[in-house]
Protein backbone atom coordinates (compact mmCIF):
# COMPACT_ATOMS: atom_id res chain seq x y z
CA UNK A 1 0.00 0.00 0.00
CA UNK A 2 1.48 3.30 -1.03
CA UNK A 3 1.82 5.80 1.75
CA UNK A 4 0.64 8.79 -0.29
CA UNK A 5 -3.04 7.88 -0.29
CA UNK A 6 -5.59 8.20 2.50
CA UNK A 7 -4.34 5.17 4.40
CA UNK A 8 -0.74 6.31 4.51
CA UNK A 9 1.02 6.09 7.84
CA UNK A 10 0.55 9.27 9.84
CA UNK A 11 3.52 11.23 10.98
CA UNK A 12 3.63 12.62 14.42
CA UNK A 13 5.80 13.43 17.38
CA UNK A 14 5.60 14.36 20.98
CA UNK A 15 8.76 15.67 22.62
CA UNK A 16 7.62 15.23 26.19
CA UNK A 17 4.94 12.58 26.07
CA UNK A 18 5.87 9.82 23.66
CA UNK A 19 9.07 8.00 22.89
CA UNK A 20 10.99 10.11 20.44
CA UNK A 21 13.93 8.82 18.48
CA UNK A 22 16.32 11.69 17.73
CA UNK A 23 18.73 11.01 14.93
CA UNK A 24 21.03 13.97 15.27
CA UNK A 25 19.22 16.15 17.74
CA UNK A 26 18.27 19.59 16.79
CA UNK A 27 16.98 21.46 19.79
CA UNK A 28 13.98 20.08 20.87
CA UNK A 29 -11.51 27.30 -10.67
CA UNK A 30 -11.56 30.81 -12.40
CA UNK A 31 -8.94 33.18 -11.13
CA UNK A 32 -9.68 36.31 -9.13
CA UNK A 33 -7.42 39.34 -9.65
CA UNK A 34 -3.79 38.46 -9.13
CA UNK A 35 -1.90 39.73 -6.12
CA UNK A 36 0.63 42.48 -6.44
CA UNK A 37 4.16 41.57 -5.32
CA UNK A 38 3.72 43.06 -1.82
CA UNK A 39 0.21 41.96 -0.87
CA UNK A 40 1.08 38.60 0.60
CA UNK A 41 3.60 40.12 2.98
CA UNK A 42 1.19 41.49 5.58
CA UNK A 43 -2.38 41.29 6.84
CA UNK A 44 -4.90 38.56 6.12
CA UNK A 45 -4.61 37.61 2.49
CA UNK A 46 -6.68 35.19 0.36
CA UNK A 47 -6.35 35.54 -3.40
CA UNK A 48 -5.17 33.82 -6.52
CA UNK A 49 -1.74 34.94 -7.64
CA UNK A 50 -0.54 34.98 -11.23
CA UNK A 51 2.62 32.92 -11.73
CA UNK A 52 2.93 33.41 -15.47
CA UNK A 53 -0.31 32.89 -17.32
CA UNK A 54 -2.07 30.87 -14.64
CA UNK A 55 -2.95 31.51 -11.02
CA UNK A 56 -2.48 29.62 -7.77
CA UNK A 57 -4.56 30.27 -4.69
CA UNK A 58 -2.71 31.54 -1.60
CA UNK A 59 -3.99 32.44 1.85
CA UNK A 60 -1.82 33.95 4.60
CA UNK A 61 -2.76 34.88 8.16
CA UNK A 62 -0.98 36.02 11.29
CA UNK A 63 2.33 37.76 11.81
CA UNK A 64 5.80 36.84 13.00
CA UNK A 65 8.87 35.10 11.72
CA UNK A 66 9.81 32.67 10.40
CA UNK A 67 6.92 32.42 7.92
CA UNK A 68 5.29 28.98 7.94
CA UNK A 69 4.31 27.60 4.53
CA UNK A 70 2.17 24.45 4.46
CA UNK A 71 1.76 22.01 1.55
CA UNK A 72 -1.29 19.74 1.56
CA UNK A 73 -1.67 16.04 0.85
CA UNK A 74 -2.21 14.40 -2.53
CA UNK A 75 -5.62 15.10 -4.04
CA UNK A 76 -6.41 17.63 -1.31
CA UNK A 77 -6.33 21.40 -0.96
CA UNK A 78 -5.43 24.19 1.43
CA UNK A 79 -8.80 23.75 3.14
CA UNK A 80 -7.52 20.49 4.62
CA UNK A 81 -4.77 22.37 6.45
CA UNK A 82 -6.86 25.30 7.73
CA UNK A 83 -6.88 24.03 11.31
CA UNK A 84 -3.08 24.03 11.35
CA UNK A 85 -3.04 27.58 10.08
CA UNK A 86 -5.35 28.63 12.93
CA UNK A 87 -3.06 26.96 15.47
CA UNK A 88 0.12 28.69 14.31
CA UNK A 89 -1.14 32.11 13.22
CA UNK A 90 -1.11 33.37 16.81
CA UNK A 91 2.64 33.88 16.70
CA UNK A 92 3.69 33.25 13.09
CA UNK A 93 2.84 34.28 9.55
CA UNK A 94 1.19 31.13 8.13
CA UNK A 95 0.51 30.58 4.43
CA UNK A 96 -1.44 27.81 2.70
CA UNK A 97 -1.83 27.27 -1.02
CA UNK A 98 -3.53 25.02 -3.54
CA UNK A 99 -1.36 23.18 -6.03
CA UNK A 100 -2.18 23.48 -9.75
CA UNK A 101 -5.67 22.20 -10.52
CA UNK A 102 -6.56 21.70 -6.86
CA UNK A 103 -8.91 23.77 -4.72
CA UNK A 104 -9.13 27.30 -6.06
CA UNK A 105 -6.00 27.19 -8.23
CA UNK A 106 -6.06 27.16 -12.02
CA UNK A 107 -5.23 23.90 -13.77
CA UNK A 108 -2.20 23.71 -16.04
CA UNK A 109 -2.51 25.61 -19.31
CA UNK A 110 -1.88 22.54 -21.46
CA UNK A 111 -2.90 18.91 -20.95
CA UNK A 112 -0.35 16.72 -19.23
CA UNK A 113 1.61 14.36 -21.44
CA UNK A 114 3.13 12.72 -18.35
CA UNK A 115 2.48 12.82 -14.60
CA UNK A 116 3.90 15.84 -12.78
CA UNK A 117 6.96 15.55 -10.56
CA UNK A 118 8.19 17.06 -7.32
CA UNK A 119 10.36 19.52 -9.27
CA UNK A 120 7.25 20.85 -11.04
CA UNK A 121 5.55 21.49 -7.71
CA UNK A 122 8.63 23.14 -6.20
CA UNK A 123 8.97 25.46 -9.19
CA UNK A 124 5.32 26.51 -8.82
CA UNK A 125 5.63 27.13 -5.09
CA UNK A 126 8.80 29.15 -5.45
CA UNK A 127 7.24 31.31 -8.15
CA UNK A 128 4.11 31.77 -6.03
CA UNK A 129 5.98 32.93 -2.92
CA UNK A 130 8.08 35.34 -4.98
CA UNK A 131 5.13 36.74 -6.94
CA UNK A 132 3.08 37.30 -3.78
CA UNK A 133 5.96 38.86 -1.89
CA UNK A 134 5.76 36.40 1.02
CA UNK A 135 8.76 37.14 3.23
CA UNK A 136 11.16 34.44 4.33
CA UNK A 137 12.80 32.66 5.87
CA UNK A 138 10.28 29.82 5.62
CA UNK A 139 9.45 26.89 7.82
CA UNK A 140 8.01 24.37 5.38
CA UNK A 141 5.44 21.83 6.60
CA UNK A 142 4.38 19.12 4.16
CA UNK A 143 1.66 16.52 4.72
CA UNK A 144 1.84 13.19 2.84
CA UNK A 145 2.81 14.06 -0.76
CA UNK A 146 3.58 17.55 0.50
CA UNK A 147 6.29 16.08 2.71
CA UNK A 148 8.29 15.14 -0.38
CA UNK A 149 7.76 18.53 -2.01
CA UNK A 150 8.95 20.55 0.98
CA UNK A 151 12.08 18.40 1.27
CA UNK A 152 12.98 19.08 -2.36
CA UNK A 153 12.22 22.78 -1.91
CA UNK A 154 14.64 22.95 1.02
CA UNK A 155 17.35 21.22 -0.99
CA UNK A 156 16.74 23.45 -4.02
CA UNK A 157 16.49 26.78 -2.16
CA UNK A 158 18.31 26.19 1.15
CA UNK A 159 18.98 29.91 1.64
CA UNK A 160 15.22 30.52 1.91
CA UNK A 161 14.41 27.80 4.43
CA UNK A 162 14.74 27.92 8.23
CA UNK A 163 13.31 24.47 8.93
CA UNK A 164 11.31 21.58 7.47
CA UNK A 165 8.62 19.30 8.86
CA UNK A 166 7.91 16.26 6.68
CA UNK A 167 4.68 14.78 8.02
CA UNK A 168 3.44 11.39 6.88
CA UNK A 169 5.48 11.64 3.71
CA UNK A 170 5.49 9.27 0.76
CA UNK A 171 8.56 7.07 1.39
CA UNK A 172 11.57 7.18 -0.97
CA UNK A 173 11.15 4.73 -3.85
CA UNK A 174 14.58 3.35 -3.01
CA UNK A 175 14.60 1.52 -0.61
CA UNK A 176 10.83 1.39 0.03
CA UNK A 177 9.73 -0.54 -3.06
CA UNK A 178 12.24 -3.34 -2.53
CA UNK A 179 12.09 -3.58 1.24
CA UNK A 180 8.30 -3.51 1.52
CA UNK A 181 7.69 -6.05 -1.27
CA UNK A 182 8.08 -9.20 0.88
CA UNK A 183 5.23 -7.97 3.11
CA UNK A 184 2.79 -7.39 0.23
CA UNK A 185 0.64 -9.68 -1.84
CA UNK A 186 1.31 -9.86 -5.57
CA UNK A 187 -1.61 -7.51 -6.27
CA UNK A 188 -0.55 -5.06 -3.58
CA UNK A 189 2.94 -5.00 -5.03
CA UNK A 190 1.57 -4.30 -8.53
CA UNK A 191 -0.60 -1.50 -7.17
CA UNK A 192 2.34 0.03 -5.35
CA UNK A 193 4.54 -0.01 -8.46
CA UNK A 194 1.74 1.58 -10.50
CA UNK A 195 1.29 4.31 -7.89
CA UNK A 196 4.99 5.22 -8.01
CA UNK A 197 4.92 5.35 -11.81
CA UNK A 198 2.00 7.80 -11.73
CA UNK A 199 -1.19 7.93 -13.74
CA UNK A 200 -3.20 10.48 -15.66
CA UNK A 201 -5.26 11.90 -12.81
CA UNK A 202 -5.15 15.56 -11.83
CA UNK A 203 -2.98 14.85 -8.78
CA UNK A 204 -1.04 11.80 -9.91
CA UNK A 205 2.73 12.15 -9.63
CA UNK A 206 5.66 10.30 -11.11
CA UNK A 207 7.20 9.38 -7.78
CA UNK A 208 10.07 7.41 -9.31
CA UNK A 209 11.25 10.52 -11.16
CA UNK A 210 10.49 12.72 -8.16
CA UNK A 211 12.78 10.72 -5.90
CA UNK A 212 15.43 10.66 -8.61
CA UNK A 213 15.22 14.47 -8.53
CA UNK A 214 15.78 14.40 -4.79
CA UNK A 215 18.78 12.10 -5.23
CA UNK A 216 20.23 14.53 -7.77
CA UNK A 217 19.56 17.63 -5.66
CA UNK A 218 22.12 19.37 -3.50
CA UNK A 219 23.09 17.49 -0.36
CA UNK A 220 20.98 18.28 2.71
CA UNK A 221 22.16 21.44 4.46
CA UNK A 222 22.27 22.31 8.17
CA UNK A 223 18.56 23.12 8.05
CA UNK A 224 16.60 21.56 10.96
CA UNK A 225 14.56 18.71 9.47
CA UNK A 226 11.82 16.86 11.35
CA UNK A 227 10.33 13.59 10.11
CA UNK A 228 7.05 12.72 11.86
CA UNK A 229 5.29 9.38 11.58
CA UNK A 230 2.61 7.56 13.50
CA UNK A 231 3.11 4.38 15.43
CA UNK A 232 1.57 1.14 14.20
CA UNK A 233 -1.53 2.13 16.18
CA UNK A 234 -2.56 4.07 13.05
CA UNK A 235 -3.18 0.78 11.25
CA UNK A 236 -6.54 -0.95 11.53
CA UNK A 237 -4.92 -4.36 11.97
CA UNK A 238 -1.50 -5.91 12.29
CA UNK A 239 -2.50 -8.11 9.35
CA UNK A 240 -3.54 -5.40 6.88
CA UNK A 241 -1.03 -3.89 4.49
CA UNK A 242 -0.44 -0.94 6.80
CA UNK A 243 0.33 -3.23 9.73
CA UNK A 244 2.48 -5.60 7.70
CA UNK A 245 4.66 -2.84 6.20
CA UNK A 246 4.79 -0.44 9.13
CA UNK A 247 8.17 -1.64 10.38
CA UNK A 248 9.70 -1.09 6.94
CA UNK A 249 8.15 2.35 6.66
CA UNK A 250 9.48 3.36 10.04
CA UNK A 251 13.00 2.20 9.18
CA UNK A 252 12.96 3.94 5.80
CA UNK A 253 11.78 7.24 7.26
CA UNK A 254 14.28 7.04 10.10
CA UNK A 255 16.94 6.62 7.43
CA UNK A 256 15.65 9.72 5.66
CA UNK A 257 16.01 11.81 8.79
CA UNK A 258 19.54 10.49 9.26
CA UNK A 259 20.57 11.94 5.89
CA UNK A 260 20.18 15.46 7.26
CA UNK A 261 22.90 16.92 9.52
CA UNK A 262 20.17 18.16 11.86
CA UNK A 263 17.54 15.52 11.22
CA UNK A 264 15.03 14.34 13.80
CA UNK A 265 12.78 11.29 13.61
CA UNK A 266 9.84 11.04 15.99
CA UNK A 267 6.68 9.01 16.42
CA UNK A 268 3.46 9.15 18.40
CA UNK A 269 0.09 7.48 18.13
CA UNK A 270 -2.16 9.17 15.61
CA UNK A 271 -4.12 8.85 12.40
CA UNK A 272 -3.18 9.70 8.84
CA UNK A 273 -4.32 13.33 9.09
CA UNK A 274 -1.75 13.88 11.78
CA UNK A 275 -2.03 17.66 11.58
CA UNK A 276 -5.37 17.30 13.41
CA UNK A 277 -3.68 15.78 16.46
CA UNK A 278 -2.94 18.08 19.43
CA UNK A 279 0.20 16.02 20.07
CA UNK A 280 1.46 16.64 16.55
CA UNK A 281 0.72 20.33 16.83
CA UNK A 282 2.64 20.48 20.09
CA UNK A 283 5.58 18.69 18.49
CA UNK A 284 5.69 20.99 15.49
CA UNK A 285 5.35 24.08 17.66
CA UNK A 286 8.21 22.91 19.90
CA UNK A 287 10.36 22.21 16.84
CA UNK A 288 9.75 25.70 15.47
CA UNK A 289 10.27 27.46 18.80
CA UNK A 290 13.60 25.69 19.27
CA UNK A 291 15.18 27.76 16.49
CA UNK A 292 12.82 30.76 16.18
Q: What is the pLDDT of residues 178-216, one digit of tens each?
A: 999 999 999 999 999 999 999 888 899 999 999 999 999
Q: Are 117 and 210 in contact (CB under 8 A)?
A: yes
Q: Are 268 and 231 in contact (CB under 8 A)?
A: yes
Is residue 278 assigned to a domain? yes
- DSSP result, 30-62: PPPPPPPTTGGGSS-EEEEEESSSSEEEEEEE-
How many domains, the chain? 1
Would you give the DSSP letter of residue 55? E
Instruction: Return d(Cα 271, Cα 257) in angstroms, integer.
Output: 21
Is residue 130 assigned to a domain? yes
pTM of the model: 0.88
Beta bridge partners of 22: 264
Give the angle 255-152-165 at the CA atoms, nearest 5°.
Answer: 65
Q: pLDDT, tens digit, for every residue of 53-82?
A: 999 999 999 999 999 999 999 999 999 999
Q: How far is C-alpha 21 from the geometric centre of its chain's CA atoms?
A: 20
CATH (domain of 26): 3.40.50.1820
58 phi and psi, to 5 degrees?
-135, 135
Q: pLDDT, tens digit, for every residue of 98-107?
A: 999 999 999 9
| Neighbour count for residue 206 (Cβ, 10 Å) | 19
Is residue 13 assigned to a domain? no
Is residue 1 assigned to a domain? no
Is residue 39 assigned to a domain? yes
Is residue 15 assigned to a domain? no
36 phi and psi, to 5 degrees?
-80, 160
Is residue 268 assigned to a domain? yes
| Neighbour count for residue 267 (Cβ, 10 Å) | 26
Whole domain around residue 255: which residue ranges? 20-291
Amino acid sequence: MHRGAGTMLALLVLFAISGSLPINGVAAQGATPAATPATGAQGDFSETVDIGGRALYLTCQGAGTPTIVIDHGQGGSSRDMASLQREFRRDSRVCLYDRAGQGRSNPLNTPLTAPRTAADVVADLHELLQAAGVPGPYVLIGQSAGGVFVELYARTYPEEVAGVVSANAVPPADPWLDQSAPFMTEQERADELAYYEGGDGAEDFDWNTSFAQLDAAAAPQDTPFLVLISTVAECESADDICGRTHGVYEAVMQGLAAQWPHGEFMTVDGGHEIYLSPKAIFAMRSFIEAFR
